[in-house]
Amino acid sequence: MDSQGVKSLSASGFSSIFRHVRLEHLLAGVSGGVVSTLVLHPLDLVKIRFQVNEGHTKSRPQYRGIVHALQSISRQDGISGLYRGVTPNVWGAGASWGLYFFFYNALKMWMQDGNSQRALSPGHHLLAASEAGLITLIFTNPIWVTKTRLCLQYEASASSSVAAHNTYKGMLDALKKIYKYEGLRGWYKGFLPGVFGISHGALQFMAYEEMKNSYNKRLNRPVDHRLGSGEYILFAALSKMFAAVATYPYQVVRSRLQDQHRSYNGVVDVLKQTWRLEGVRGFYKGVSAYLVHVTPNICIVFLLYEYVTQQARQTTATKATKWAEKAL
């Protein structure tokens, strides 16, 4: 890697990154994460339930497919059942996308020395996305644990077969109980596969940036030229599907480690048991629900992100023009 890439890993270098932070990236990421989650949470709920279903635990609900799962959950628990775990999901998605875009763009602008028209290599995009992903994961992993736990509360009310410390009244109650009974380690269950999952975001952002850059170069335009909404949606969807297929098994491992109904002795134990009992298919359980959920999800996130940042840039430019006019 070149000296620019090495510099981004040094401790002294990080102090200068904050010269390039822009709050509009944080706001845009939060907006996209919150809206997409509110719209698509039921599909995320179904995905998690498919992921943890090993096929031999009788206490779990059994679903024949995505539609049957949605129908079964709504029939048993009502529409509110489809939104079980939505609070930590909204907080987690908003915080994750906000922080990810915030740090990713700060790192990217730093690597560009503040020149947004300077094209970066795929390696630089991977590095910026990986560093942003690690920082974001450290902040948000406890929220994702509570989301998984709440999504896996199958009954509308606690049953006698479920331990009191594994029954949660909401996000704050889950955070408190997990810390009380499992300590800090409970908040960071699934962190290791989550670190591997950073490669998901890195691959996605690399593909997204490379497609945008190549497209603009082909049309002889600056790499930071604003595209149309349809073009952003297309590149976002293609990059997400590419990353999803390449890295999906880590999500299954992470969900199973965070599941309050099963106990594993770490990542290796999950890998061994899943392979022994379910084979390769076990690592791709819930992938259909995931793709149905994640494609519109990422399109909403990136469309809102590009819209909010563009509006912020226009507002800044307008204020600068007015200030210059007054100065004259």
Q: Which residue has the tokens 């300590």?
A: 183
The proportion of the chain whose per-residue pLDDT surpasses 70, expressed as a percent, equals 85
Which among 50, 36, 261 is positioned nearest to 150, based on CA atoms?
A: 261
What is the chain's mean pLDDT, rounded?
A: 83
Q: What is the pLDDT of residue 300?
A: 87
pLDDT, tens digit, 9 for 90 and up, residues 121-175: 888 888 888 999 999 999 999 999 999 899 888 754 444 445 667 788 889 999 9
Q: Say if residue 225's pLDDT is above 80.
A: yes
Q: Say if residue 105's pLDDT is above 80.
A: yes
Q: Which contacts of 7-15 are long-range, i.e. CB under 8 A and separated by 24 or more positions?
A: 8/107, 8/110, 8/111, 8/127, 8/128, 8/131, 9/127, 9/131, 13/110
What the block records as the tokens of 158 is 């606690």
Q: Say if residue 1's pLDDT is above 50.
A: no
Q: Say if residue 32's pLDDT is above 50.
A: yes
In this predicted model, which residue has the larger pLDDT, 209 or 5? 209
Q: Is 239 exposed, middle or buried (0-12, 13-18, 19+ CB in 10 A)?
A: buried
Q: Are 30 and 95 in contact (CB under 8 A)?
A: yes
- Domains of the chain by residue range: 17-317
Mean pLDDT confidence for 220-242? 87
Identify the CATH class of 17-317.
mainly alpha
Q: What is the pLDDT of residue 326?
A: 66
19 pLDDT band (50/70/90 cuts)?
A: low
Q: Which residue has the tokens 């992470």?
A: 254
Mean pLDDT confidence for 228-249? 87
pLDDT, tens digit, 9 for 90 and up, residues 34-88: 999 999 999 989 988 888 887 666 667 888 888 999 999 999 888 888 998 899 9
Number of Cβ within a 10 Å radius of residue 19:
10
Q: Are 91 and 41 in contact (CB under 8 A)?
A: no
In this predicted model, which residue has the larger pLDDT, 251 or 196? 251
Which among 306, 314, 305 is positioned nearest to 28, based on CA atoms?
A: 305
Q: Quick one: CA dihedral 303, 305, 306, 311, positive or negative?
A: positive
Task: Write the CB contacts of 297 (distance below 8 Å, at least 6 apart in sequence).
Answer: 36, 37, 40
Mean pLDDT is lowest, of 31-45, 263-277, 306-320, for: 306-320
The length of the chain in residues reads: 328
Which among 244, 258, 141, 254 is positioned nearest to 199, based on CA atoms?
A: 244
Mean pLDDT confidence for 297-307? 84
Cα(280)–Cα(286) distance, integer angstroms: 13
pLDDT, tens digit, 9 for 90 and up, residues 123-136: 888 888 899 999 99
301 pLDDT band (50/70/90 cuts)?
A: confident
Mean pLDDT confidence for 293-312? 83
